[in-house]
Amino acid sequence: MHGRDSSSGAFEEPRMVVRKFLARPQLEGVGAVVRRSIGRFELRYFDPFLVLDEFSVTAPAGFPDHPHRGFETVTYMLQGAVTHEDFEGHKGTIGPGDLQWMTAGRGILHSEMPAAQGTQKGLQLWINLSSKQKMIEPRYQEISSKDIAEATEDGIKVRVIAGEALGTKSPVYTRTPTMYLDFTLKPGAHLRQPIPMSWNAFVYVLEGEGVFGSSKSSPVTAHNLLLLGSGDGLEAWNKSSKLLRFILVGGQPLGEPLVQFGPFVMNTQEEIDQTIDDFENFTNGFEKARHWRSEAAIGLDL
């Protein structure tokens, strides 16, 4: 076969695993536990990805009122539910399998708190925005589990959060071009998934054990992040007797300077200074932060 046909899973140069990180639990927010892979000290930034957290939160722990500017947060629920409310009055609850793709742009102040008994689990990915898009109007894309595109083929199930797989496309609009695929492979299944050549891409294992890159490599278990090297696709195998579940995420690198101060991500120190000024003085997108507190924070008397 000649040329490239991304819809049929054809590619020429499989990507190998170049680095592996085990994400261990740490405390974030108020009493919440996250397994942070991207965004920790040894892996500050994997352009365009700033943070990948596998979070676990049980009331009264959570992520009360905090701001964001200059990037997007993508929250994908695995178990339980999280209620979010922001300073514009946007409020909602996302449950198992639901997705919230939030473009913070010039500024969001919000809370993200448990909405059910027991432990709420999910993934939160922070995707950087280009310098031209950092100050755009905030926007949400929310997709409930039943509306997330799914495809099944030869022992492989994919939920297409962003991008395309097995001929199925996600309706999510990505400002920084991104693919985000949730794969479940039955025992014996073999996946071949195209990835654009120039993109950075990683795998994060959620459940079971998988063989990635080369069929001879050792199996990788849950909570491991795998950075993929150059190439135009991923090969993965489930050689175990249990289900294998992992996400495959890829994005077009921005190649821009990065200055981060917590939840503010800009290109220069000047822009960060301006952002702190805007947040303290309720300007340039933070106007509504002046008189706002979340109902969650009021209820907890924070």
262 sits in the region (left: phi over 0; alpha: psi -120 to 50; else beta) called left
Least distance from ligand FJE to the Cβ atom of residue 49, Å: 13
Q: Distance between CA 238 and CA 174 in Å, rounded?
A: 30
- Measure the CA angle with vertex 292, ends 285 and 270; round to 5°: 35
Q: Distance between CA 175 and CA 129 in Å, rounded?
A: 7
Residue (108 or 228) nearer to ligand FJE, CB? 108
Least distance from ligand FJE to the Cβ atom of residue 225, Å: 15
Least distance from ligand FJE to the Cβ atom of residue 248, Å: 20
Which residue is listed with tokens 């629920």? 77
Locate 219 and state its tokens.
């199996």
Region of 27-35, 132-140, 149-157, 273-281 interacting with ligand FJE (CB under 6 A): 27-35
Burial 31-57, CB ≥16 within 10 A → b, else e: ebbbbbbbbbeebeebbbbbbbbbbbb
Least distance from ligand FJE to the Cβ atom of residue 274, Å: 18
Binding of ligand FJE at residue 232 (CB under 6 A)? no
Residue (157 or 293) nearer to ligand FJE, CB? 293
Binding of ligand FJE at residue 53 (CB under 6 A)? yes
> Which of 56, 75, 238, 294: binder of ligand FJE (CB under 6 A)?
75
Least distance from ligand FJE to the Cβ atom of residue 124, Å: 3
- The pair phi, psi for residue 278, each rounded to 5°, is -60, -40
Beta strands in 80-189 (DSSP E): 82-86, 91-94, 99-103, 108-114, 120-128, 139-143, 149-153, 156-162, 164-165, 168-169, 178-185
> Which of 33, 34, 104, 189: binder of ligand FJE (CB under 6 A)?
34
CB 47 within 8 A of CB 214: no
| Of residues 120-179, those binding ligand FJE (CB under 6 A) | 124
Q: Is 110 annotated as a binding residue?
A: yes
Locate 290 and state its tokens.
């002046």
Region of 3-11, 13-21, 28-36, 203-211 interacting with ligand FJE (CB under 6 A): 28-36
Least distance from ligand FJE to the Cβ atom of residue 133, Å: 19
Helix then strand then coil, % of the chain, to nearest 5 = 10, 50, 40
How many residues bind ligand FJE (CB under 6 A)? The answer is 13
Over the window 83 to 122, marking each residue x when it contacts ligand FJE by CB under 6 A and - when it does not, the resulting string is: -----------------------------x----------
Binding of ligand FJE at residue 63 (CB under 6 A)? yes
242 has which bridge partners?
none
Over the window 241 to 280, marking each residue x when it contacts ligand FJE by CB under 6 A and - when it does not, the resulting string is: ---------------------xx-----------------
Closest to 169 in 3D by CA, of 155, 157, 179, 183 = 179
> Which of 33, 74, 82, 211: binder of ligand FJE (CB under 6 A)?
82
Q: Is 112 annotated as a binding residue?
A: yes
Give residues in contact with ligand FJE (CB under 6 A).
28-29, 34, 53, 55, 63, 66, 75, 82, 112, 124, 262-263
